[in-house]
Amino acid sequence: MGIVVLLSLALLTDCQSASSGAVKPVSAGALTEEYERSSAVVRSKYDGKEITVRGYTMIGASMPPGADQGTVLLQEKGRDPVRQVTCWFSKEQAEGFSKVKGGQ
Q: Is the pLDDT of residue 66 over 70?
A: yes
Model confidence at 6: pLDDT above 50: no
2-6, 62-66, 79-83, 92-96: segment of lowest average pLDDT: 2-6
| Residue at 22 is within a domain | yes
Confidence of residue 22 (pLDDT cuts 50, 70, 90): low
- Is the residue at 102 inside a domain? no
Pairing status of strand 85-90 against strand 13-14: parallel
Q: Which pTM value belongs to this model?
A: 0.67
- Residue 8 located in a structural domain: yes
State pLDDT tens for residues 73-83.
Answer: 999 888 777 78
Burial of 37 (0-12, 13-18, 19+ CB in 10 A): exposed
Is residue 87 in a domain?
A: yes
